[in-house]
A and B are shown apart, each in its own frame.
Chain A
Amino acid sequence: MTGYLLLLVIFLPALAFVILNNYQTVPAFFNNPEALRQTGFSLLTSLAISAAALVLAFPGVIIYAKCPNRVRGFLRVSFSFAFCFPAVLMNMSLENEYLNLSPFFRNIAVNLALNIPLVIVMVGEYLRRLDIRQKLCSRTIGVSESRFFMKLTLPKLVPAFFGVFALVLLRCMAPTDNIIVSMLLSVLFLIILTSTDKKRRQAELSPACSETRKGNAFTAILSFIYMLAAQCLIIVPLLFMILRSVLINGKISIEAYSLLFAPGNDKLLMCLVFCFAIALASSVIASFIAVRISVGIANTGCSLFLAMIPFAIGPVALASGFTGLYPWFGQTLTVKLIFTVLCHILILSPIQVMILLPVARALSPNLRKTSVSLGKTSSHSFMHIDLKLMETDILCALFTSIAISIASYGAAETFGLYTAYSQCLMFWQQGKVAGASAIGSITLILSFIFFVMGIGHTREGKRNV
């Protein structure tokens, strides 16, 4: 309950002010055909992009589940980084003279690039944890692999696909003109996401039942090409951004970087310090909340829904809610920093819950019961058993959320803080492509370092205790 209470104490004031400040605009929104048309179009586009991401990722899911462990480890790291890659930077990276995409198609490309790798990892991990004993059993009674896939595997994959579909939809849905309508739509997708949770848990999952299969040479080459292409979705924009930061007038130079850190130009440094401080503070508190929620979460979709709702509402909407508290607290830098941290906590806690929940669920409740029956209090048992067993996963969640927070551009910007984003945007608008790319590269590399530190703490196949 502590986790939920903390989350609600932070979340409810922001939510209340979002609603109070915007509820009058709802009737006007529904009376405006143009706004409705735009929202409908935006929604349809998001649906189409999400569906396309799922379809395009499907071969990757199969390849991911069947590839050797070492390859899968590499793919997991590189693909999962899509979660930390800000859409803004991806957009900037794709806005170049070679691609020449219109904003609409760029939006599609950005969302596909950021979501296809995620779908591959999330559904792929699910697929490889489906119990293969049924498959082995089916083979012995003459059921072909394709028939087994269609009749047994695919129905089990459907809840995972629905869940990921809703998550992708949440990530790629552009906010509408009306913040309340956007919130309601997000909540709707969150309901889909959490409603599939129970079914996903009901599927027979085992800790490590991946099936490594060697196909023929042709399949192997096709798989390699596909995975390379999927890999490029994340790596190429990142490399392109780094390249643009060091390529000035056709020559390699680190001038953009030296300018950023030139004496007297301390803005970027301050931005980075802010980013890091906010990331660290919010991630540590979010970890505490997420651990409490994950361990204590009831096995119902409703409790997961409550834990995830701030994530669905999004940093910008939450930040705008916090601005409603200015009359009480003032608009000082400290207040803005605190609000930014609170906003990040609200966004990072659900992400950490997503990372920690499977681990917490894998912990046998008998461990804590046994400890209590030995005369230890619940809190002592929690500290010495649950927490110790989740130690590495908590570190993983902590570092991952620091990575996400560093690369997060929404909340701090709403409060008008100096951020990497504002600097990046300013440089971009001034036509200083190299400078903007340098800032983007620095934040992404920083983020990537923390992300790798986080993912290094996952324990492959050892989670079921």
Chain B
Amino acid sequence: MSDYALVCNQIKKTKGKLNLDLDFSVNKGELVSIIGPSGSGKSTVLSLICGFESPDSGTITINGVDVTALNAEKRGAAIIFSDYSVFPNMTLEQNVAYALKNHKLSKEETEAEVRKLLELVNLRKDDKRKVKELSCQEKYKVALARAIASEPQILLLDEVFSALDTRERDALRIEIRDIQKKTGITTVFVTDSQVEALSVSDKVILLNNGKIEQMAAPDDIYRRPVSEFCAKFMGECNILPYDVILKTLRVPETERSKVIYQCYGPEHRLLFRPEDMVVNDMPGLPFPEFYPHLRFENAKIIRSEYLGKEYLVTAMYEDMIIKVYTVYKPASDYITAGIRMSKILEFNDGRLIRH
């Protein structure tokens, strides 16, 4: 028996302007997020796995069985859409019971099963409400319970949190991970939020124009992005020309020879995350020295955004824009910030060459 719950083997699909070209696998019991800009083919991937669309070439295997030619109802891939598609002609309990695989259950057994599932998703057990009386969050939970009731081999979630507010999203994010761990159902989760993808997933797949830009663990994809696109998509970052080293490098004279300056051309760039920068937060205190590093002395602040626990400061250093997080509100119009060389990634022609 295969260790993979899902294998998309050299899948190709042309749909309008989108040319999907995929090759990836998901281990059993994993939660994998698919993320990417709109139009990158995220939902099409789910449609292909589910069987609503057929690939032009390639095979899809679920738990070792080639399902490429199978109808959607025979694949064992339950999907939850962003509108949750809770059947409005049924009550909450009827929705869940609809999907129960074993139709030979007695009424009492069905009720018990439904209650168990509702309990699993933290819904009231004796809920007889109609669908129109439910909140978005509750609809999502009903859809989840219903999907689990069908005993799927794979659970597909298509931007399920897009209709929820931030607090609900945060709460359900945790819940979805807990339920997934409890049930052990392999889950593919399409989202447009980097935070969601990074926080709940075992693996993240970043799509760009129908191709997998990177597939890696959340920490890897954030810390070691393979391309500039990937780095920019996964979070705030500073991208500066390589020759900024000449202007900003701070290193003791004795160690200067250890820093090798080797520029590959104008497309050779440096990338680092704003949260890795160190800021001279407290006026009057000396800037913490650490070697070697790039120091942006007295960069002119052009914008300061208060984010609650910190500020995101955008500043101009010479003709370059740098972004940096700081705990304290900048005391003047200028800021001094530094970044360790060890935190810097190097890209040439948009691809990672050194980290």
Contact = CB atoms under 8 A, between A and B. Distances in A.
Given A364-B83, A389-B88, A372 B98 contact: no
Contacts of B73: 372-378
Nearest to A378: B73
B321 interface: no
Contacts, number: 63
Given A375-B99, A375-B150, A370 B72 contact: no
Contact of A375 (B52, B76, B80): B76
Interface residues of B, number: 29
B1 to A, nearest CB: 21
A139 interface: no
B101 interface: yes
Given A375-B73, A375-B101, A377-B73, A370 B88 contact: no
Interface in B127-176: 143, 146-147, 149-150, 152, 156
B140 to A, nearest CB: 13
A377 B70 CA distance: 12
A385 interface: yes
Given A373-B79, A376-B73, A367 B87 contact: yes
B50 interface: yes
Interface in A359-376: 364, 366-367, 369-376
A367 B143 CA distance: 11
A370 B152 CA distance: 12
Given A375-B76, A376-B73, A370 B89 contact: no
Interface in A429-465: 465
A378 B73 CA distance: 8
A376 B72 CA distance: 9
A388 interface: yes
Contact of B89 (A369, A375, A389): A389
Nearest to B82: A366
A267 interface: no
Contact of A369 (B52, B71, B149): B52
Contacts of B51: 372
A391 B143 CA distance: 23
B345 interface: no
Nearest to B154: A373
B85 A367 contact: yes
A374 B85 contact: no
A366 B75 CA distance: 17
B50 A373 contact: yes
A369 B89 CA distance: 16
Contacts of A366: 81, 83, 85
Nearest to B158: A366
B180 to A, nearest CB: 17
A384 interface: yes
B78 A369 contact: no
Contacts of B72: 369, 372-373
Interface in B211-239: none
A465 B71 CA distance: 26
A385 B98 CA distance: 11
Nearest to B150: A374
Interface string A340-382: 0000000000000000000000001011011111111110000
B337 interface: no
B89 A385 contact: yes
Interface string B61-102: 000000000011111111111010101110000000011010
Contacts of A391: 89
Contacts of B71: 372
A217 B152 CA distance: 64
Residue of A366, A376, A384, A389 with most chain B CB atoms under a 10 A cut-off: A366
Given A374-B147, A374-B150, A369 B98 contact: no
B101 A369 contact: no
Contacts of B77: 373
A211 B326 CA distance: 50
Give the interface centre of A375, A376, A389 by most chain B CB atoms within 10 Å. Answer: A375
Contacts of B79: 369-370, 373
Given A389-B89, A465-B88, A370 B101 contact: no
Contacts of B149: 374
A378 B72 CA distance: 9
A369 to B, nearest CB: 6
A108 to B, nearest CB: 47
Contact of B85 (A369, A377, A384): A369
A389 B50 CA distance: 24
Closest CB pairs A-B (n = 3): A370-B85, A374-B150, A366-B85
8 contacts: A370-B85, A371-B98, A372-B51, A373-B75, A374-B98, A378-B73, A384-B98, A389-B89
